Chain A
Amino acid sequence: MMTRISPQKGMLIFGIFILLAGIAALVAFQVSGPMGIEERFTQALGIHHDASADSGISGFSLEGQPFLYVVVLGILGIICIAAYRHFRI
């Protein structure tokens, strides 16, 4: 029969996890320095914003194009309505 862990012991175990995660986060923050999450990604991957804005042949270039956003949203909306009617969700 499995022994149940008391709330106090549960909190202790949770505290250990919190401590480990907190230390890892602080160390990583110290190593990488203060920056936003977007900058972290661009720095980690070595992406330059100007280069990434030009998405190339096989990439998407929907970024910042409201018309394409509306088109894609419209298509998704139609699919949702069709799925809703077909499957009677």
Chain B
Amino acid sequence: MGGRNLAHIHLEDGSFTLYWVLVWWAIALILIGVSLVWVRSKKKFSNRKITLAAFCTAAAFAIFQVSIPLFGGVHLNLTPLIGILLGPALGALVVLIINILSAAIGHGGWGMIGANLLVNITELVVAYGIWRALKNLFSGGFARAGIATLAGLFCGNMVMIVIIVISGVQGAAQTSSQILTGLTLIAAVNMGVAVIEAFITGMIIVSIMKARPDMLERDE
């Protein structure tokens, strides 16, 4: 990680103006609020689901901090896996906790949590949506989970680009087109990591389908 505090959007506090920090935080809080309402609307959550959410939080928080020496140093997310296992509402609460814990130990600025939440929520919502949409189309779990993961991380990268381009970055010396080109290159490199994550997610899902298929059942 080096000595700098960086986030999923690998920019420091002060990169966005206070206005945009508040805008992204506000949108993220609205989504978190919707998730909370949904969670509260369910009369009862099974202990299994709560335990799974806790496990996902711990695992994803840990994996956020582990730098993989590929493409110059990257980290996995596990957000698509969280989306597949927990769904969008519970998943959004999990990524909120992960981002807050990460910021608390210096992995990411506080001001970037809102923007990073939007990226992470996009990843898990898209992955969950694709996973569900392919249910009646794919008979195997590995490819289904892998495609859902790739799609989720791809859309997360797109949201990251949109957020940065809209917000602008204080002290940036590049023109908008140069920034867009640079961010597109970052997104493309990130897709290399998404390939690894797709395989890992696919393997985890296949293992769960064999050992504990009940964990993938939706309690709706």
CB of B140 within 8 A of CB of A38, answer no
> Which of these, B111, B140, B146, B173, contacts A18 with CB under 8 Å?
B146
Q: Given A7-B139, A36-B2, A52-B15, decide whether A13 and B147 contact each other with a Cβ distance below 8 A.
A: yes
Set of chain A residues within 8 Å of B140, measured between Cβ atoms: 6-7, 10-11
Q: How far is the CB of B88 from chain A (nearest CB, A)?
A: 17
Set of chain B residues within 8 Å of A10, measured between Cβ atoms: 138-140, 142-144
Q: How far is the CB of B52 from chain A (nearest CB, A)?
A: 17
CB of A25 within 8 A of CB of B147, answer no
Asked if B191 is an interface residue, CB under 8 A from chain A, the answer is yes
Set of chain B residues within 8 Å of A39, measured between Cβ atoms: 72
CB of A11 within 8 A of CB of B192, answer no
> In the complex, A26 Cα to B193 Cα: how many Å?
11
Set of chain B residues within 8 Å of A27, measured between Cβ atoms: 188
CB of A58 within 8 A of CB of B192, answer no
Set of chain A residues within 8 Å of B186, measured between Cβ atoms: 28, 32, 37, 40-41, 44
Asked if B159 is an interface residue, CB under 8 A from chain A, the answer is no
CB of B173 within 8 A of CB of A46, answer yes
Set of chain B residues within 8 Å of A55, measured between Cβ atoms: 13-14, 170
Asked if B169 is an interface residue, CB under 8 A from chain A, the answer is yes
Set of chain A residues within 8 Å of B147, measured between Cβ atoms: 13-14, 17
CB of B183 within 8 A of CB of A14, answer no
Q: Is the interface of B mostly helix, strand, loop or mixed?
A: helix
CB of A46 within 8 A of CB of B172, answer yes
Q: Given A25-B188, A38-B4, A47-B173, decide whether A61 and B138 contact each other with a Cβ distance below 8 A.
A: no
> Which of these, B71, B136, B142, B170, contacts A11 with CB under 8 Å?
B142
> In the complex, A62 Cα to B189 Cα: how many Å?
29
Set of chain B residues within 8 Å of A28, measured between Cβ atoms: 184-186, 188-189, 192
Q: How far is the CB of B92 from chain A (nearest CB, A)?
A: 13
* Interface contacts beyond A41-B10, A56-B171: sample of 15 additional A-B pairs, CB < 8 Å, sorted by A: A2-B136, A7-B140, A7-B142, A10-B142, A14-B147, A25-B188, A32-B186, A37-B71, A37-B73, A44-B174, A45-B169, A59-B17, A62-B110, A76-B100, A87-B40
Selected A-B contacts with CB under 8 Å, 30 pairs? A4-B139, A5-B138, A11-B143, A14-B143, A14-B202, A21-B150, A25-B193, A28-B188, A29-B192, A36-B72, A37-B186, A40-B182, A44-B174, A45-B11, A45-B164, A45-B172, A47-B173, A51-B171, A52-B15, A53-B14, A56-B170, A56-B171, A59-B15, A60-B109, A62-B111, A63-B5, A63-B109, A64-B5, A73-B104, A89-B39
Question: Lowest 6 A-B CB distances belong to which pairs?
Answer: A44-B182, A25-B192, A55-B14, A28-B188, A46-B173, A7-B140
